[in-house]
Structure 1
Amino acid sequence: MIAPVFLLVLSALGAIYALTQPGAADWLPLAGLSALASLLLLLKAWWGGRGRAVRRRAAANHIIVDGSNVMHWKGGPPQIGPLREVIARLLDEGFAPAAVFDANAGHKIGGRYMHDQALGRAIGLPADRVLVVDKGTPADPVILAVARGYGARIVTNDRYRDWLHDYPEAAQPGTLIRGGYRDGRLWLDL
């Protein structure tokens, strides 16, 4: 941000010199164009800085839900209810949630394979915010990679111990958001 300010001041001084000194008028177009260009650079630097702040704030709102983990939070057989409730709570808190599931998640909660769109409809998220990993692919490293890519936290009770070598950020405090049910009420360690 210092360079555009320096160029703007230098160009403005050049324009003043060209206007006030006899025989220097030929320099006025060059000084004027330089002043305009440096002003544009200054505005771009200022606006770009604001854009980065907005992107950082947006990234802080991304959150990944370990769908295959959360559907077990009420104990007993896996259920879709905890997923819906977690998604609703995250949306209410101002987060932009996405969910990642093991390939067998649909079989566990619906008795059949469910793709991204079907699971998204079931939990209240658009299909582009839901990912069902391919059969034979573990969801955990995908969840960790997506979270890393978005700078997002993860809602799960899994500690991802098998993946800490490749994703050490999972051991950082605040990366994993634990949750569950107490007296029938959802709690999240936000």
Structure 2
Amino acid sequence: MLGPVILLFLSLAAAGATLWVPGAGDLIVLAGPAVLASLILLWRAARLRRPLARGWIVVDGSNVMHWKAGSADLAPLREVLRYIRDQGYTPRVVFDANAGYKLRGRYMDATALARNLGLARGNVIVVGRGNPADPEILKAARDLGARVVSNDRFRDWAEAYPQATRPDRLVRGGYRGGTLWMGLDPISRGRESRTSPARRGR
């Protein structure tokens, strides 16, 4: 953040010199774009430092549904969703287009998956055929200021979504001895832990 602030100060000083120093009018050619560039850098830095929203969690549905047995199953995803809601969050689930084929041998749209998960239709997204779910997951997390529940590290998308792919924005989980664990503390505690055991789904 300090770099863009210094650049803005220097470019504003140069722009001011064009008004008050005789013969310095040509500096505006450099100072004007420098002011604009520093403002853009400040805006991007502020976005990266934006605090997390306290209400949303984006769930990588196609990843989580494989957590328990390695094969596609909605049961672990339902348990994860119950746990997330127990902690005070509202989940938004994103699936690959082929999720239905893995689960039921046929295409399932967002309405069908939402019904099977007990979620509102607006909180389930199925990406279009041929499109990867990862950018949609990370875009939703960025727009909502939310964490992502997934064991995927999204390395291929780190440059396009630097905020959403930071390690502190990714919540990992799985099963140990048949018991769900997740690195997520209740919303009321104001912070998340990587080692908190999840309670069994009710």
TM-score by length of 1: 0.68
- Deviation, structure 1 residue 171: 3.9
The residue number in structure 1 matching 2:139 is 145
What's the secondary structure of 1:98's corresponding residue?
strand
State the Cα RMSD in Å. Answer: 1.7
Where does residue 71 of structure 2 map in the other structure? 77
Question: Which residue of structure 2 aligns with residue 29 of structure 1?
Answer: none
Amino acid at match of 2:125: L
CA displacement 1:3-46 (0-9 Å, x = unmatched): xxxxxxxxxxxxxxxxxxxxxxxxxxxxxxxxxxxxxxxxxxxx
Q: Residue in 2 aligned with 1:94? A: 88
Contact 2:148 2:171 in 1 (8 A): yes
- State the aligned residue count: 135
Secondary structure of the corresponding residue to residue 169 of structure 1: coil
The 3-state SS of whatever aligns with 1:76 is: coil
Runs of 4+ more than 6 Å apart: none
Question: C-alpha displacement at 1:58, in angstroms?
Answer: 9.5
- Give the share of equivalent positions with the same residue, in percent: 56
1:127 counterpart (121, 127, 133): 121
Identify which of 85, 105, 108 aligns with 1:111.
Answer: 105
Partner-residue secondary structure (3-state), 1:65:
strand
Please say if residues 52 and 145 of structure 2, whose CA atoms lie closer than 8 Å, have aligned partners that are also in contact. Answer: no
Asked if the contact 1:119–1:130 (Cα under 8 Å) also holds between the matched residues in 2, the reply is yes
Q: Which has more helix, going by share of residues?
A: 1
**CA apart distance, 1:72:** 0.8
Cross-structure match for 2:166: 172
Equivalent-residue separation in structure 1 for 2:174 and 2:129 (angstroms) = 27
5+ unaligned residues in a row in structure 1: which ranges?
A: 1-55
Larger Cα-atom Rg = 1
Tell me the TM-score normalized by structure 2: 0.64
Q: For residue 180 of structure 1, report the CA deviation from its aligned partner.
A: 0.3
Structure 2 unaligned segments of length 5 or more: list them: 1-49, 185-202
User: Would the aligned equivalents of 1:160 and 1:170 in 2 still touch at CA under 8 Å?
Assistant: no
